[in-house]
């Protein structure tokens, strides 16, 4: 009497559409074995795709057949598509089974493989389900690509978005707070370049973002955040972007600026500096003796550890961290504006801002000129193609090269148009914070302290043992300091720098009283 193992496989869609339930297959296989006097050794149930043989129960079955070689004569299944939907893998597996002395057989599509002509029928039985799978996959692929071209995001929503369905049962993605706000902050921080990407990822996690490092890197490269959907290259169609139907979280200009930073085309990010709470100034101080950056560490005393900023070179320069941190707070107090000068600060900074904006117009003209030049070259190439002076493939290659450049320049132009010259609200908020600069610094976290330091001092600080020195400070801070010097008092209580103020005084006028 022959001995057989019964292999039963279903997938969810087949079970629903064709009725290939496990119970139904088992009944038919057992009935076949009973009629043909075949002894059943074991029944294997599989719920896995037949595209490959990398299936959990199949792997266990093959291991069992190799371990107990000669115990089984037949491997029975209902149809050949239960066995495999990949003809190449199927032929290889049939060869492996026959080496183990096991003959695979479909009871509804029986074939005597010792007859050469039956191999043609086997090829048909194996190819038919594979063709069906490939056609289904191709239909899904074209459907998803068509949806992407329509501006719809396909699949699970990226970080900062959530999947939703409208009243017409159409699926779309929408911004989801607080992650949307965190991702907006992430892009802004990368564009600033004050911290490297890994540090920003760590800070984003502290803000509540739940995301692995790999997913974070994928997210900051994803154009979906600026309202674009990427369409990959397929056959003769080049890769390109389309406008998405979802709401963007950031502007196109910000997205392209971030890509420039990540690709090294814009400005380098600062090197990663791991900062202890005792050393907020680490990475911002230069050794006054050799010019290298001071690092920070703690030395063990008799009863406790003492923090120091010190140079790693042989010069041996070091300062007590507690004293330097305390003196830095005193240094910050120099930039706290005089309360009587707030209105003058706003006026002066407003004038400086308007002068800076004038420079933006030159940049705007340059971007516009570049954009017009690229469009002109592309139009010329199109005319040459229509006149059959160049091949369509050459035109497509040129368009694929120019299109990303054109999109970047258009994004920059839209960013120019969105800027406003009204900074009154920003000034009000900024001066308010500047008036409490030393208190905000003292109460802030180490990361917040470092952000304050980097925003005030664009260059490194030097501590000479008594005072802090720096080549220059932030433009707003410089203006405020220069204006505030007018109201600073000397030891005698008089105001200094009155020479900077006008000596002209408007004479007082008297009005005659009349009935």
Q: 319: left (phi > 0), else alpha (psi -120 to 50), else beta?
A: beta
CA distance 101 to 89: 19
CATH of the domain at 204: 3.90.1750.20
Domain boundary among 263, 279, 310: 263
The H or E element spanning position 121 is helix 118-149
The number of residues making up the chain comes to 515
The CATH number for 67's domain is 3.40.50.1390
Q: Which of 389, 421, 453 is the last residue of a domain?
A: 421
Do 14 and 118 lie in a common domain?
yes
* Residues 45, 129 share a domain: yes
351 domain-assigned: yes
Residue at 413 is within a domain: yes
Cα torsion angle, 252, 256, 262, 267, sign = negative
Q: Decide if 27 contacts 34 (C-beta within 8 A).
A: no
pLDDT at 454: 81
- Burial label for 62, CB within 10 Å (0-12, 13-18, 19+), is middle
Return the SS3 of 27.
helix
For the chain (length 515 residues), average pLDDT per consecutive 10?
90 56 88 92 88 90 90 91 86 90 91 82 83 84 87 89 85 90 92 84 90 91 91 83 90 88 67 67 85 85 85 84 88 78 71 69 78 86 85 82 81 62 68 79 84 81 80 69 58 43 40 41
Query: What pLDDT, on the 0 to 100 scale, is given for residue 4?
Result: 93
Q: Could you tell me if 30 and 124 lie in one domain?
A: yes
The DSSP element (H or E) to which 45 belongs, if any, is strand 39-46
CA distance 305 to 515: 84
Q: Are residues 101 and 9 in the same domain?
A: yes
Q: Please state, in angstroms and rounded to a whole number, the distance separating the CA atoms of residues 140 and 154.
A: 12
Residue 512, pLDDT score: 40
The confidence score (pLDDT) of residue 505 equals 40
In a domain, 431, yes or no: no
Interatomic CA distance for residues 64 and 424, integer angstroms: 78
Q: Using the 8-state DSSP alphabet, how is residue 85 labeled?
A: S
Domain co-membership, 344 together with 255: no
Give the domain extent around 360.
Answer: 340-421
Q: What is the DSSP string of 445-510?
A: -HHHHHHHHHHH-SS-EEE-SS-EE-S---HHHHHHHHHHGGG-B-TTSPBS-GGGS----PPP--
- Please state, in angstroms and rounded to a whole number, the distance separating the CA atoms of residues 244 and 150: 7
Per-residue pLDDT, 275? 62
- Whether 370 maps to a domain, the answer reads yes
């Amino acid at each position: 009497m022959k001995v057989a193992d019964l292999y039963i496989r279903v997938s969810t869609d087949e079970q629903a559409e064709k009725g290939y339930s496990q119970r139904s297959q088992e009944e038919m296989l057992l009935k076949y074995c009973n009629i043909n006097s075949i002894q059943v050794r074991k029944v294997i149930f599989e719920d896995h795709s037949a595209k490959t043989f990398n299936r959990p129960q199949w792997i266990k079955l093959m291991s069992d057949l190799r371990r107990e070689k000669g115990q089984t004569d037949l491997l029975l299944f209902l149809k050949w598509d239960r066995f495999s939907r990949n003809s190449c893998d199927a032929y290889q597996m049939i060869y492996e089974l026959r080496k183990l002395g096991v003959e695979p057989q479909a009871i509804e599509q029986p074939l005597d493989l010792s007859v050469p002509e039956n191999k043609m029928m086997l090829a048909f039985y194996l190819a038919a389900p594979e063709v069906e799978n490939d056609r289904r996959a191709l239909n899904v692929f074209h459907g998803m690509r068509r949806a992407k071209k329509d501006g719809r995001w396909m699949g699970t929503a990226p970080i900062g978005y959530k999947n939703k369905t409208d009243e017409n049962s159409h699926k779309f993605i929408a911004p989801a707070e607080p992650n949307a706000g965190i991702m907006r902050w992430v892009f802004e921080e990368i564009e600033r370049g004050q911290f490297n990407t890994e540090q920003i990822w760590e800070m984003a996690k502290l803000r509540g973002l739940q995301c692995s490092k790999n997913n974070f890197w994928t997210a900051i490269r994803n154009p979906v955040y600026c309202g674009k959907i990427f369409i990959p290259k397929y056959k003769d169609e080049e890769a390109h972007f389309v406008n998405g139907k979802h709401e963007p979280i950031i502007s196109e200009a910000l997205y392209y600026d971030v890509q420039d930073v990540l690709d090294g085309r814009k400005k380098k990010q600062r090197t990663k500096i791991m900062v202890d709470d005792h050393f907020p100034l680490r990475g911002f101080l230069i050794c006054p003796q050799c010019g290298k950056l001071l690092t920070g560490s703690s030395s063990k005393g008799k009863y406790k550890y003492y923090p120091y900023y010190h140079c790693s070179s042989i010069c041996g320069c070091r300062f007590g961290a507690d004293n330097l941190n305390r003196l830095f707070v005193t240094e910050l107090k120099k930039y706290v504006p005089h309360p009587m000068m707030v209105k003058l600060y706003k006026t002066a900074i407003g004038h400086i801002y308007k002068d800076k904006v004038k420079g933006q117009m030159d940049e705007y003209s340059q971007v516009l000129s570049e954009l017009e030049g690229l469009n002109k070259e592309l139009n010329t190439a199109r005319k040459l193609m229509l006149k059959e002076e160049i091949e369509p493939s050459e035109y497509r290659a040129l368009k694929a090269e120019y299109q990303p450049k054109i999109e970047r320049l258009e994004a920059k132009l839209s960013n120019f148009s969105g800027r406003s010259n009204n900074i009154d609200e920003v000034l009000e908020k900024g001066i308010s914070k500047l008036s409490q600069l030393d208190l905000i610094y003292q109460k802030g976290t180490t990361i917040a302290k470092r952000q304050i330091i980097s925003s005030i001092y664009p260059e490194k600080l030097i501590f000479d043992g008594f005072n802090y020195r720096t080549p220059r400070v932030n433009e707003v801070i410089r203006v405020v300091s220069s204006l505030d010097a007018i109201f600073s008092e000397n030891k005698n209580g008089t105001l200094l720098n009155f020479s900077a103020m006008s000596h002209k005084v408007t004479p007082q006028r008297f009005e005659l009283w009349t009935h």
